Amino acid sequence: MKVATNDKRNGDTALMGQKYCGKCDTVKPIDDFGKSQNRKNGIQDYCKPCLNAYHRSRRVRKGTEGENKTADMKAYQAEYRKKWLVDHPDYYKEYRAKRRDHLNAIKRAWVAKKRNKI
């Protein structure tokens, strides 16, 4: 019995248009397996239903991990920002100065426009 299992796992069945899926422990037609560029034989190790279930479970896990990561990231970014502002104390001063110039330019343009009308 062991030999038969090994034959299945070695992919001999692939030659007959069938392949063994280690997830559901079933020999299925090649059509039930997706293509894979990462595999030597160009076929996924697991059948499509198994891979779909696998990816779905991964997505769910990733989703919750992602949420935790977002919270962690926010805390990290807030911390980083504080440190960054200590290292770049003039950044906002310069930013405000630039913005003031910009706003003044708009104001001047507006005043000039109004003056031309009168």
Question: Considering beta carbons, is residue 18 or 21 the nearer one to Zn ion?
Answer: 21
Tokens of 30: 């090649």
Residues 70-99 within binding reach of Zn ion (CB under 5 A): none
Looking from the CA of 34 toward its CB, the CA atoms found within 13 Å total 9
Q: Which stretch binds Zn ion (CB under 5 A): 40-48, 61-69, 73-81, 87-95?
A: 40-48
What's the Rg (C-alpha) of the chain?
32
- Residue 31 phi, psi dihedral angles, 5° rounding: -60, -25
Quick one: which of 19, 21, 33, 44 contacts Zn ion (CB under 5 A)? 21
Which of 55/88 has CB closer to Zn ion? 55
Let me know: does 55 contact 65? Beta carbons within 8 Å: no
Binding site for Zn ion (CB under 5 A): 21, 23-24, 47, 50
